[in-house]
């Protein structure tokens, strides 16, 4: 892709196959000869890291499903049986649970990379939108997967999230019952979540295929944001980026393994080691850490907006926070891709990252508690929610017009060989 | 390396929110204790010849004190003799042959519930090594009816409380004779400094010399608390030693592999401007 194929099959079997099903050619053009900008930094390694983690999750997940029992009386104990009695079951369970967290860490870094280097801009809008679709599917998969151990947080987290649907006017309660398969979170819910949790990763894999396809048509973006112009701007993917990505993947795996083997429960919640109990609500229901920023946005809307009550407002804000990413390519009015050349926007971006982490911090805490100096977590969350939306709806559209970008190099080659490495 | 700095920052941010959750759900500070099983190299071994004295003493406390109310549902007698367990022995790799484990099962204070396969009647019989630990009560209703509150199962108690082993230890040692002024402690209730909410239905248990340790260790409340918590930490995580051992090997492998890949990377990119 991205130019004519240079694959040259050997005479005999390979040519015979290539004339009938050019699958080797596809692999060669996509992952061997694929022209890649020569100036990619390590932020570009997270695509490869994510691919590895999707595979880790699918392989450990399929194996765990061979031992897991999706029954409300047996699910919790079946996990204990896996970690205690299934040979190396503790390893599978720890890899799968921590793998979800490290999958999300990588996807967040990957998305911030895209935001900073303008990876969503023409001609990569579809590529970006497919990425947001993958992210949404990951959220759904992670949420349903967290329900399966059937601990207290599983159960009550599922209760809180499915109850959000009930906020939709008129049809909300009917949809909620349809989701539950009953009148509360129960056996039917657990069983269908298991089924969907098994299904969705394969849909993710399919959309990842589209994502890579959409990537390989315009080719990779790069840190200076200048399009590839000549062959001198690029290097073949193999061996240059297989070895560079490979190194980054190994570093990331080391951090992952440190968690898997030495602190397997650090990212989980103690309450999930108590079996689900419909009669006892935990004092604090918190979702998995990777949803905390959105949980904070949900709880930040504590006031009615016209005919929309606070609960529905919170739900709309939470889903709006993701939905806005779909239209981002048309909200950013600047033609300059990389923020290296956008001195003002760059600072707003840095504050956006800090704000997103801050929202996560708010999501982990009780809204009425004090952050510092008499400021409630609720107020901080409200301020950061405002900034989150303002970044997309005000800052990017306006700055793209008023900001004067710094001079950019004429080509990737010049930026690499020249002195102006911003 | 820029990337490692960013990872560190990201992990620190994660740790921050995790710590915030812990502090919030528990409400107060818990004293950090220096457990033998702490850290990447911590094990349950505390004797010169691979003995597991503390876990064994802890099991004695479960057997003599805790088991008169608390279940240990997730564990079987055989677990005691499996690799990493309190009575693991090289001589008896199969816990079914381990004489200590066999004796513990045969002399357990409560009978195993079973069905007579000839008559179909419910019977009670002597526990076998393969049985789960029998509970003193028939079911949770009987336990609540008898005790006034349901004693939690102890298999996962260390994992199921924020603060973990430190919290359980603080709880066991957290009873005070007199509640602070203004706090009413009802009949069948006790005041505990470590317990969230402070009023708890479990009576204090760890009194000086409550048990007579088989190995002659002086049974102070602190000693007993350390031992039972060490046992419960094992009960919640019986493969901890295997996990850490494999972890060290895996990390060493990844380290060596990444050094090789890094050298390959340097060589491949040597004459490439980027």
Give the whole-angstrom CA distance, residue B100 versus residue A171: 63
List all residues 6 or more positions away from B2 whose beta carbon is below 8 Å from its beta carbon.
A41, A42
B155 at interface of A, judged by CB pairs closer than 8 A = yes
Most distant CA atoms of chain B, gap in Å? 84
Burial A63-93 (b: 16+ CB within 10 A, else e): bbeebbbbebeebbbbbbbbbbbbeebbbbb
Instruction: Tell me whether the omega of the peptide bond preceding residue A405 falls within 30 degrees of 0, making it cis.
Output: no
Rounded to whole angstroms, the Cα distance separating B203 from A371 reads 37
Which CATH number does A26-281 carry? 1.20.810.10
- Phi then psi dihedrals of residue A124, to 5 deg: -115, 25
The first and second tokens of residue A258, run together, are 């440190």
Average the pLDDT over A333-358 and give the result: 97
CB pairs under 8 A between A and B: 134
User: With contacts defined as CB-CB under 8 Å, which chain B residues touch A233?
Assistant: none
Q: Between chains, do A273 and B156 touch, taking CB under 8 Å as contact?
A: yes
Instruction: Write the CA distances from A9 to A20, A28, B234, integer angstroms.
Output: 12, 10, 59
Euclidean distance between CA atoms A290 and A139, whole angstroms? 9
Exposure letters A201-220 (e unless 16+ CB within 10 A, then b): beebeebbeebbebbbebbb
Instruction: Answer yes or no: are the C-beta atoms of A203 and A315 closer than 8 Å.
Output: no
Question: What is the domain partition of chain B in residue ranges?
Answer: 35-268
Percent of chain A predicted with pLDDT > 70: 98
Above 80 in pLDDT, residue B158? Answer: yes
Rounded Cα–Cα distance for residues A168 and A266 (Å): 35
- pTM for this prediction: 0.93
So where are chain A's domains? 26-281, 286-411
Residue B175 DSSP code: B
DSSP code string of B208-245: TTSS--TT-----HHHHHHHHHHHHHHHH-TTHHHHHH
Residues of chain A numbered 277-296 and touching chain B (CB < 8 Å): 283-284, 286, 289, 292
Q: What is the pLDDT of residue A2?
A: 55
One of 3.40.30.10, 1.10.1660.10, 3.40.250.10, 1.10.760.10 is the CATH number of B35-268, namely 1.10.760.10
Chain-chain contact of A247 with B156 (C-beta, under 8 angstroms) = no
Asked if the Cβ–Cβ distance from A90 to B239 is below 8 Å, we say yes
pLDDT at B22 over 80: no
Q: If pLDDT is split at 50, 70 and 90, which confidence band does A419 have?
A: low
Confidence of residue B26 (pLDDT cuts 50, 70, 90): very low
The confidence score (pLDDT) of residue B5 equals 47
Residue of B nearest to A290 (CA): B14
DSSP letter string over B90-148?
SS-SSGGG-HHHHHHHHT-SSPEEEE-TTT--EEEE---TTSBPPPSSSSHHHHHHHHS
Predicted pLDDT at B130: 96
List the Cα angle A419/A421/B2 in 5-degree steps. 135
**pLDDT tens, residue by residue, B37-91:** 999 999 999 988 889 999 999 999 999 999 999 999 999 999 999 999 999 999 9
ipTM value > 0.90? yes
Q: pLDDT band at residue B177, thresholds of 50, 70 and 90?
A: confident
- Residue A421: is its pLDDT beyond 50? no
Nearest to B18 among A258, A267, A273 (CB): A267
With CB atoms and an 8 Å threshold, state whether A42 touches B2: yes
pLDDT at B18 over 50: no
Task: Report the mean per-residue pLDDT for chain A.
Answer: 95
* Cβ distance of A261 and B244 shorter than 8 Å: yes
d(CA A421, CA B214): 72
**Percent of chain B whose predicted confidence (pLDDT) is above 70:** 90
Name the residue among A63, A53, A51 with its Cα closest to residue A91.
Answer: A63
Using the Cβ of B96 and the Cβ atoms of chain A, whether some distance falls under 8 Å is answered with no
> What pLDDT digit, counting tens, does each position of A8-48 carry?
999 999 999 999 999 999 999 999 999 999 999 999 999 99
Instruction: Determine the average pLDDT of the residues in A197-219.
Output: 97
Please list, in sequence order, all residues whose beta carbon lies within 8 angstroms of the beta carbon of residue B157, skipping any fewer than 6 positions away.
B168, B232, B236
pLDDT recorded at residue A1: 46
In a mutational test of the B interface, the residue from A52, A84, A151, A157 whose CB has the highest number of chain B CBs within 10 Å is: A84
């Amino acid at each position: 892709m991205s130019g004519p194929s240079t694959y040259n099959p050997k005479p005999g079997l390979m040519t015979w196959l290539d004339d009938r099903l050019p699958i080797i050619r596809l692999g060669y053009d996509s992952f061997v000869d694929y022209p890649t900008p020569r100036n990619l930094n390590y932020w570009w390694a997270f695509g490869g890291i994510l691919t590895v983690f999707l595979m880790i999750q699918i392989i450990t997940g399929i194996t765990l499903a061979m031992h897991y029992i999706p029954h409300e009386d047996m699910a919790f104990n079946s996990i204990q049986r896996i970690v205690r009695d299934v040979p190396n079951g503790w390893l599978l369970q720890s890899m799968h649970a921590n793998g979800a967290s490290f999958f999300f860490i990588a996807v967040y870094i990957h998305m911030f990379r895209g935001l900073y280097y303008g990876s969503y801009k023409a001609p990569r809008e579809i590529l970006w939108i497919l990425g947001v679709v993958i992210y949404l599917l990951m959220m759904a998969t992670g949420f349903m997967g967290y329900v399966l151990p059937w601990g207290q947080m599983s159960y009550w987290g599922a209760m809180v999230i499915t109850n959000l649907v009930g906020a939709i006017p008129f049809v909300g309660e009917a949809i909620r019952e349809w989701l539950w398969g009953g009148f509360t979170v129960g056996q039917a819910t657990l069983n269908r979540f298991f089924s969907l949790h098994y299904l969705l990763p394969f849909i993710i894999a399919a959309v990842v295929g589209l994502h890579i396809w959409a990537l390989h048509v315009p080719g990779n973006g790069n840190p200076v944001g200048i399009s590839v112009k000549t062959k001198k701007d690029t290097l073949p993917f193999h061996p240059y980026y297989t070895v560079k990505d490979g190194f980054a993947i190994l570093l990331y795996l080391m951090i992952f393994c440190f968690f898997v083997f030495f602190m397997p429960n650090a990212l989980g919640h103690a309450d999930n080691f108590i079996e689900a109990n419909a009669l006892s609500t935990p004092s604090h229901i918190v979702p998995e850490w990777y949803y905390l920023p959105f949980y904070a946005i949900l709880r930040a809307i504590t006031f009615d907006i016209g005919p929309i009550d606070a609960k529905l407002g919170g739900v709309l804000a939470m889903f709006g926070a993701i939905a806005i990413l779909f239209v981002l390519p048309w909200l950013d009015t600047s033609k300059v891709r990389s923020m290296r050349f956008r001195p003002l926007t760059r600072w707003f971006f840095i504050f956006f990252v800090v704000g997103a982490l801050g929202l996560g911090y708010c999501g982990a805490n009780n809204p009425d508690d004090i952050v510092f100096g008499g400021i409630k977590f609720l107020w901080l969350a409200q301020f950061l929610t405002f900034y989150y939306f303002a970044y997309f709806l005000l800052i990017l559209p306006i700055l793209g017009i008023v900001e004067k970008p710094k001079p950019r190099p004429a080509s990737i080659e010049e930026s690499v060989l020249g002195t102006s490495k911003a | 390396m820029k990337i490692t700095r960013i990872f560190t920052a990201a992990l620190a941010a994660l740790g921050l929110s995790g710590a915030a959750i812990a502090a919030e759900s528990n409400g107060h500070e818990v004293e950090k204790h220096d457990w033998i099983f702490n850290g990447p190299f911590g094990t349950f071994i505390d004797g010169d010849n691979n003995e597991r004295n503390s876990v064994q003493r802890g099991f004695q406390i479960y057997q003599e004190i805790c088991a008169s109310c608390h279940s240990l549902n997730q564990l079987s007698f055989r677990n005691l003799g499996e690799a990493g367990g309190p009575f693991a022995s090289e001589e008896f790799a199969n816990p079914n042959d381990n004489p200590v484990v066999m004796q513990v099962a045969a002399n357990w204070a409560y009978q195993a519930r079973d069905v007579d396969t000839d008559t179909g009647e419910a019977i009670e019989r002597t526990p076998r090594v393969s049985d789960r630990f029998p509970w003193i009560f028939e079911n949770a209703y009987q336990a609540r009816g008898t005790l006034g509150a349901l004693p939690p199962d102890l298999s996962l108690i260390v994992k199921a409380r924020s603060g973990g082993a430190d919290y359980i230890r603080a709880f066991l040692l957290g009873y005070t004779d007199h509640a602070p002024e203004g706090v009413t402690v009802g009949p069948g209730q006790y005041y505990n400094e470590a317990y969230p909410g402070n009023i708890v239905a479990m009576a204090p248990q760890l009194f000086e010399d409550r048990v007579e340790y088989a190995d002659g260790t002086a049974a102070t409340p602190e000693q007993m608390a350390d031992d039972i918590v060490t046992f419960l930490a094992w009960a919640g995580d019986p493969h901890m030693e295997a996990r850490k051992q494999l972890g060290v090997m895996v990390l060493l492998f990844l380290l060596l592999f990444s050094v090789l890949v890094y050298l390959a990377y340097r060589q491949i990119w040597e004459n490439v401007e980027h």
